[in-house]
Chain A
Amino acid sequence: PLSKDHAYQLAMMEAAAHHLPHPSDSERLRHYLPRNPCPTPTYHCPAM
């Protein structure tokens, strides 16, 4: 069984997993060609 401290850590980690950092969080803002993710059909190629 997890200790109280570890149970707290697990709960905080699970809460954080609901808003994972997005790759664009680590990139400068690009005003002209910003990332614009959108659901594309799976048969289209991922980024080469």
Chain B
Amino acid sequence: SQVPLRHDEL
């Protein structure tokens, strides 16, 4: 599924 870019951050 497509994850928003911000979910890359911890």
Indicate, yes or no, whether A interacts with B.
Answer: no
User: Which B residues are closer than 8 A to A by beta carbons?
Assistant: none
The interface of chain A, by Cβ under 8 A from chain B, is none
